[in-house]
Amino acid sequence: MQNRINYISKWIKSYAEQYNKESLVVGISGGIDSSVVSALCASTGMKTFAVTMPIRQKPEQDDLSMLHGDWLKQQYNTYHNTVAHCKFDLTFQFEEFERMMGDQDKLGLANTRARMRMMTLYQLASMHNGIVVGTGNKVEDFGVGFYTKYGDGGVDISPIGDCMKSEVYAMARVLCIHPQIIAAAPTDGLWDDGRTDEGQLGMTYEQLEEAMIMHDEGVSPGEGEQLARYQKFQEIQSANKHKMDPIPVCMVGDIEE
């Protein structure tokens, strides 16, 4: 895993330098994916802004994000003061939007949280000549589309987009990410009730990975529970495919006026 970590870190820095960018901006939720990505960013030696953005957050989620921000600074600022941990509480802005819209579409409002965070990250990137670094893994972003379109899906680069969730955990252990973060149940942090990813998806990440590998390799599922999980994976993927496909463009070509 150390070779993978080194490769991704160099890849991030190379991309930023290619476009003459001076900083990396990444949202940290206290979850495993954003913790690993922010550590990878910090390991480049570039100026890294790790951003905590609570919106009516469960205290334990906010605590983990703050814990990781402090750990990042301690870990990577020993020799070079390159890591900044910022906190922007967006609860007021979200509740004003919620009040203004009136329509209590809970899924839409959950996605609004992610989109407000995306706007915050891009404002910071603009201020510091930076890029917004994505935190989605392969299962979520390219398996089942478990992310918010133009929210956490609105990024400049995707460093762990080719890494399975199990591989992210493996990198976290090598990077010495805090044990509380590694042990925490994955959650997108978009709901007041603190629901977990697996609770929303109806499958564990291990089961999703198994189904995704079978799907990608063209392996026929077995029977019973394995078949049911494979069908569930296909159902989730189908519902979210519009996020993963490129934006459709109407090609008018040489149509006569």
Residue 257 has pLDDT above 80, yes or no: no
What is the CATH architecture assignment of 2-200? 3-Layer(aba) Sandwich (3.40)
Mean pLDDT of 2-14: 97
pLDDT at 220 over 90: no
Digit-coded pLDDT (tens) for 82-127? 999 999 999 999 999 999 998 778 999 999 999 999 999 999 999 9
Phi, psi of 83 (to 5 degrees): -105, 125
Measured CA to CA in angstroms, residue 63 lies from 66, 67, 70, 116, 224 at distances of 5, 6, 11, 20, 41
Per-residue pLDDT at 75: 94
Per-residue model confidence as pLDDT tens digits over 54-75:
999 988 889 999 999 999 999 9
pLDDT value at position 223?
84
pLDDT at 79 over 90: no
Q: Return the number of other C-beta atoms located less than 10 Å from residue 200's C-beta.
A: 15
240 φ/ψ angles, rounded to the nearest 5 degrees: -110, 10
User: What integer pLDDT is reported at residue 221 of this predicted model?
Assistant: 87
The torsion of the CA quartet 190, 203, 32, 171, rounded to 10 degrees, works out to: -160
User: What does the pLDDT read at residue 234?
Assistant: 94
Digit-coded pLDDT (tens) for 119-177:
999 999 999 999 999 999 999 999 999 999 999 999 999 999 999 999 999 999 999 99
The pLDDT of 179-186, averaged and rounded, is 95
Instruction: Report the pLDDT value the prediction gives residue 214, as an integer from 0 to 100.
Output: 92
Cβ contacts of residue 145 below 8 Å, gap of 6+?
Answer: 236, 237, 239, 240, 241, 243, 244
Q: Is the pLDDT of residue 80 over 80?
A: no
Question: What's the pLDDT score for residue 66?
Answer: 96
Measured N-to-C along each axis, helices 205-217 and 165-175 cross at an angle, to the nearest 10 degrees, of 120
The model's pTM is: 0.94
pLDDT, tens digit (0-9, with 9 covering 90-100), for 188-215: 989 988 899 999 999 999 999 999 999 9
Q: Is pLDDT at 256 greater than 90 in this prediction? A: no
Confidence bin at 3 (pLDDT 50/70/90): very high
Confidence at residue 60, expressed as pLDDT on a 0 to 100 scale: 86
* pLDDT recorded at residue 98: 94
